[in-house]
Structure 1
Amino acid sequence: MPIAEPTAEVTAVDAVDPALRRGLLTCWTDVTNAGGAVGFVPPVTEDDVAPVLDALIERVSQGRERLVVLWVDGEPAGWAVLSLSVSPLRRHWATVLRVQVHPARQGQGLGRALMTGVHDVARDCGLEMLHLTVRGGYGLEGFYAGLGYREFGRMPGAIRLAPGDDREEVHLVVRLRDPGQPSC
């Protein structure tokens, strides 16, 4: 009997209830402890991650950031954040942060599905460009190049994983639509 493919959906979330918070916290902790470059150095506990997550949830509730969640079979399997600019000069673009898919779900094309959804949410917000950074030494530039991102710079030694273990921060950008094109 064939195995059913998981049903994936990506949505923007404006309010985080306790069940979703628990899923986000578990994902972030597990991704970090599996070696993911999402803002921490392993090992971490949920107690380490919770205050940073709660601050992010507060910014989402204030409308300063958009939370984009990857759902697989109705459960959160990954997520990313669109960090919006408060400057009127930069409201046409955002920075993508914390892109992650739970380790148990990796290798199923869900990272691409998540990022495609992030792009759709960004377009719906009227954004023209997205910026993101990756930690050098992980080879993530190729994944993002496949989604249309191009590198525009590297900051040597920007990320310190441990004394004597500094990494580059690689800056990438993608244009979602032409300047001045009307919003959806």
Structure 2
Amino acid sequence: MIEAMPSAEPTAGPTLEVTAVDAVDPELRRRLLACWTDVTNAGGAVGFVPPVTPDDVAPVLDALLERVQQGRERLVVLRVDGELAGWAVLSLSLSPLRRHWATVLRVQVHPLRQGQGLGRVLLSGVHDVARAQGLEMLHLTVRSGYGLERFYAGLGYREFGRMPGAIRVAPGDDREEVHLFVRL
């Protein structure tokens, strides 16, 4: 868990907390669903193309939460003053040859919280959770055309490949999938 140190001054900044979550109650599920829907509809590249409704996202979220319950994935949430502000997933390998690394998925900060440096806070927390789990390296992919490579490079990620046309966001609009990794 990462927490900002509380200050005695009334003008102190918000309390930031990044934690791995093993059990998701109905309220947290509702907030995860709302965040994912809002991020997608704001143009975020998190597995869907806008517009989406909660009904579109819910089956994918529920499948993800099932994998979390099975221990195949780790859900990492970012809270600001106790409220969900963003989240990401560590997808763990079932292969004994790949248990030293994981894939980071669905990195998102709610649109109302973007531009405050919280993406960096969330990813730093994801790295801490990964290290605590004994992981040595993380992999993630981004959709080209968003400039996300620069954000991740600032966190130590390096590009190692691109798959042309891997993501079709609309007929005639194919994007590269950019592969990045970081050693922890």
* 1:16 equivalent in alignment to 2:24: yes
**Match of 1:164?**
172
Show the counterpart of 1:39: 47
**Helix, strand or coil: the match of 1:137?**
coil
2:163 is aligned to 155
| Helix, strand or coil at the partner of 1:15 | coil
TM-score when scaled to structure 1? 0.94
Task: Name stretches of at least 5 consecutive residues in structure 2 with no aligned partner.
Answer: 1-9
1:180 counterpart residue number: none
Q: In the alignment, is residue 105 of structure 1 matched against residue 105 of structure 2?
A: no
Deviation of the 1:82 alpha carbon: 0.2
Runs of 4+ in 1 over 6 A off after TM superposition: none
CA distance in 1, matches of 2:58, 2:12: 34
Distance of 2:13 and 2:167 partners within structure 1: 38
1:142 matched to 2:150? The reply is yes
The code of the aligned residue for 2:124 comes to: T
Residue type of the alignment partner of 2:14: P
Within 1, Cα distance between the matches of 2:166 and 2:92? 22
Do structure 1's residue 56 and structure 2's residue 64 form an aligned pair?
A: yes
Q: CA deviation at 1:6?
A: 1.8
Q: Deviations over 1:69-125 (max 9, x none)?
A: 001110111000000000000000000000000000001110000000000000001
Secondary structure of the residue aligned to 1:32 is helix
CA-atom RMSD, angstroms?
Answer: 1.2
1:132 and 2:140 are equivalent in the alignment: yes
Given the two structures, how large is their TM-score scaled by the length of structure 2?
0.94
User: Secondary structure in 1 aligned to 2:78?
Assistant: strand
Residues 135-171 of structure 1 deviation map (CA, whole Å, 9 limit, x = unaligned): 0000000000000000000000000000000000000
